[in-house]
A and B are shown apart, each in its own frame.
Chain A
Amino acid sequence: MTTAQEQHVLTVALAGNPNSGKSTLFNALTKLRQKVGNYPGVTVEKRTGRFDLDNGSHVNVLDLPGTYSLTVQSPDEQVAHDVLLGRITSTPQPDIVVCVVDACHLERHLYLVSQIQDLRLPVIVALNMMDELTKQGRTIDINELACKLGSPVVPMSALHHQGLNQLKDTITRGCPNVPARRWRLPKPMERAIQSLQHQLETQHRIQRNESFSRGLLYLTTDTPPETLPKDLLKPIAQHRATLEAQGIHWRSAAVAARYTWIQQVLVGIIHAPSVCKPQWSDKLDAILTHKIWGWVAFLGMMTLMFYTIFTVAAIPMDWIDGGFTFLSEQLHAHMPPGDLRDLVTNGIVAGIGGVMVFLPQILILFFFICLLQDSGYMARAAFIMDRLMSRVGLHGKAFIPLLSSFACAIPGIMATRSIESPKDRMVTLLVAPLMTCSARLPVFTLLIATLLPNTPALTKAGLMLLMYLLGTIGAIGMAWLFKRTLFKGPTPPFIMELPPYRLPSAGSILLHMWERSYLFIKKAGTIIFAFSVILWALMTYPKADHLSPDTALKQSFAGRLGVAMEPAIRPLGYDWRIGIGLLGSMTAREIFVSTMNIVFSLDKEADTLTLREAFSQADWPDGRPLFTPLTCLSLMVFYVFAMQCVSSLAVIRRETNSWRWPLFQLVYMTTLAYVAALLVYQGGHLLGGS
């Protein structure tokens, strides 16, 4: 059915503060008809979706990044601002802006509404969380609010799907008249802005709808924005001097005037009971951020998270691993022997299996990250940890991404999106893979078993702990270094809302888990897959079927590479066989174990014990043992620091929008690993070790 109505597709932008329930509304409106991508050139996530109106016409929805303001201080604000003005290519300018506000915290949320109104855009105010307001025994005079704001107001509860139809009806009706600005600056400042507006419009072709907010931004910001025309610098300085002479604080006057207007709007509109009962959120905070109980709760929650990852995730990981092994065996049995069979079983199936096996861990981690985020606890974790994190110049919010990286760096890297400052986000992202992830565990287990075959488990655990500690120190040290060199800057401001605790909705958590996992499979999967096939080819060709597997491997391209790189890795105590292991584990660190199985011509599924024995018998051509204690230690230290993970590189590529940073990371981490392993091996020799 093609009707006239379907031809014009409305574009609606959803704007709002963080924690306003904007994403909940977006999900409720679009259901699953949504897409996630990046805005061109920046690392701000772009979410778009569609929904239908009752009259059958389609609406495109843009979910803008959550911002408190449009003063363009962060990339998020810049994108929100530019989308609203239709300045981003491939993103149409919105016909209507729905500004989602939290009914319980109207005073601060209306600040953004007023800024959007200044851009002369039609705004519908979605008065969200009405259910919470009612629970608190408060009411809002909706009509009066709409009248005073000059924009339609729709009361709703996005979480309970209440008010959605009314919002759609309001969108259908549209907002024909955009009200003139209702808040007023002090008179002399109005005059200053007017004169700037005039200059912007006549000399710089700035549109009418934008000239006020631009003039205001230029007049009130100390550091001139990039867009500021140079010839305005002088008049701005003059205006400021005049205002100062009249006792007007040009930096704060506009913000104060806006808030004063908001207070006037709210007078007599909100009716609260005379006795306010203490809110459960505040009571909970008294415990969760308590000097003692706060730590207990925090450590308890983190322990639970890791316990779940290492116990619960292990079960489906075994299934997936077993399933792919079974599939590979079946294919092996039913396909005619040849290169194609080898490619399918050892390259393709093993490659896909290598990607999928990480999925349970990633899903569980995202479940926890999402739970922490949606419940409001994430802000408390940052609140508790900020003091520690700020010592290395990082934001409290960097803690959870770094902690998650102990399980897997991928969710950790993806979780850095919550850090607003781009510099701090980059530093967190660059050091996250140094945290000892679970893929290193099989490598450490094997090497510790080789190094200390007959020692009690406690000693082994101690050595393992030492490796974790080394990785953490490495991450903190590198963060400290990056903050002083590449990403030099002041310690980021910690001005963070502590949102009220809320019960997260199962739907939104599931949706988030699905979305993140899908992005991981799509972005990392293809690269890991390609890499697995390339590695398979390197280890298979040129073919030497008449030789034994280990000799054939030495003849292969990978073997030749290993032999070629032996001079470079000999100072670390490694021979060409370990070199192949290092190359093979570029896809994922635990592949080292299975590669070594092939190198020592064992069955691919041989257990640690067998491989350990093979290790203890391996020697250099002159008969010296290969896996000396120092070689094992040096190899472990290498794995602590080395970036042996194509998935992480692929995810960092997605998160930073360029190959520059993943390549930089590969180089710096490999160098760090090489130097550290060299120090261990050569230093150990100097101290008389072997």
Chain B
Amino acid sequence: MKNNIIPLSDMTISQSGTVQDITTDSLHGQRLMEMGITPGCPITIVRFAPMGDPIDIQLRGYHLSIRHQDAACIQVIIDSQEIA
């Protein structure tokens, strides 16, 4: 089952999943969690900015934009129907 865990930055538009872990110990990590990206939280990629970065993600009923490099630290379990 491990192969359906990927970094948030590798997800594609309208793909959804559940946050598994945040693998950064920087202040960015703390901020990301406070904005609601905590393990177990459902998350969806809405779109990418016109130049490809940052990313618009939806979680806890609101939209948040984060950069690709920060998204790379967020591990997401992809929803099973997405793989099927």
Contacts and interface: CB of A to CB of B under 8 A. Distances in A.
B63 A497 contact: yes
Nearest to A494: B67
Given A222-B25, A252-B22, A289 B35 contact: no
Interface in A191-242: 220-223
Contacts of A496: 64-66
B50 A289 contact: yes
Contacts of A396: 54
A220 B40 CA distance: 19
A73 B26 CA distance: 12
Contacts of A387: 49, 51-54
B30 interface: yes
Contacts of A493: 27-28, 31, 67, 70
Given A222-B25, A259-B36, A390-B67, A105 B51 contact: no
A384 B25 contact: no
A68 B35 CA distance: 7
Contacts of B64: 495-498
B34 A71 contact: yes
A402 B60 CA distance: 33
Contact of A289 (B36, B47, B66): B47
A164 to B, nearest CB: 26
Contacts of B67: 386, 390, 493-494
B30 A221 contact: yes
Contacts of A289: 47, 49-50, 56
Contacts of A161: none
A108 interface: yes
A479 B64 CA distance: 27
Interface stretch (A290-298, A424-432, A553-561): A290-298
Given A105-B62, A108-B35, A496-B65, A386 B30 contact: no
A68 B34 contact: yes
B56 A256 contact: no
A73 B30 CA distance: 10
Nearest to B69: A491
A276 B70 CA distance: 31
A384 B54 CA distance: 8
Given A289-B47, A383-B49, A494 B34 contact: no
Interface string B5-20: 0000000000000000
A495 B66 contact: yes
Nearest to A291: B50
B71 to A, nearest CB: 10
Contacts of B22: 252
A290 B64 CA distance: 16
A638 B17 CA distance: 56
Interface in B52-84: 52-54, 56, 60-67, 70
Interface residues of B, number: 35
Nearest to B25: A222
Contacts, number: 121
A549 to B, nearest CB: 57
Contacts of B46: 282, 285
A259 B41 contact: yes
A388 B35 CA distance: 24
Contacts of A222: 25-27, 30
A104 interface: yes
Given A495-B66, A496-B64, A498-B65, A108 B36 contact: yes
A387 B54 CA distance: 7
A282 B58 CA distance: 11
A255 interface: yes
Nearest to A390: B67
A493 B32 CA distance: 10
A383 B54 contact: yes
Given A107-B61, A390-B67, A252 B39 contact: yes
A255 B38 contact: yes
Contacts of A500: 63
A302 to B, nearest CB: 15
Contacts of A406: none
Nearest to A497: B64
Contacts of A282: 46
A183 to B, nearest CB: 13
Contacts of A260: 40
A256 B49 contact: no
A494 B69 CA distance: 10
A69 interface: yes
Contact of B38 (A220, A252, A379, A390): A252
B33 A107 contact: no
Contact of B60 (A71, A107, A256, A390): A107
A251 B49 CA distance: 30
Contacts of A290: 50
Contacts of A251: 25, 29-30, 33
A26 interface: no
Nearest to B33: A255
A30 B66 CA distance: 36
Residue of B28, B39, B49, B53 with most partner-chain A CB within 10 A: B49
Interface string A368-392: 0000000000010001101110100
A218 B43 CA distance: 29
A221 to B, nearest CB: 7
A223 B49 contact: no
A111 interface: yes
Contact of A494 (B38, B47, B65): B65
A255 B25 contact: no
B50 A384 contact: yes
B49 A386 contact: yes
A151 B77 CA distance: 36
Nearest to B52: A387
A255 B36 CA distance: 8
Contacts of B70: 493-495
B50 A386 contact: no
Contacts of A221: 30
A39 B38 CA distance: 34
A495 B62 CA distance: 13
B4 to A, nearest CB: 21
Nearest to B62: A105
A495 B35 contact: yes
A104 B54 contact: no
Give the top 5 A-B pairs by smallest Cβ distance, nearest first: A387-B51, A498-B63, A255-B33, A256-B38, A107-B60
Given A285-B63, A290-B50, A494-B66, 4 more contacts: A73-B27, A107-B36, A383-B54, A387-B53
28 contacts: A69-B34, A73-B30, A108-B62, A111-B34, A251-B30, A252-B22, A252-B33, A252-B39, A255-B33, A255-B34, A256-B39, A259-B41, A285-B46, A289-B47, A290-B50, A295-B50, A383-B65, A384-B50, A386-B67, A387-B53, A396-B54, A493-B70, A494-B66, A494-B67, A496-B65, A497-B62, A498-B65, A499-B62
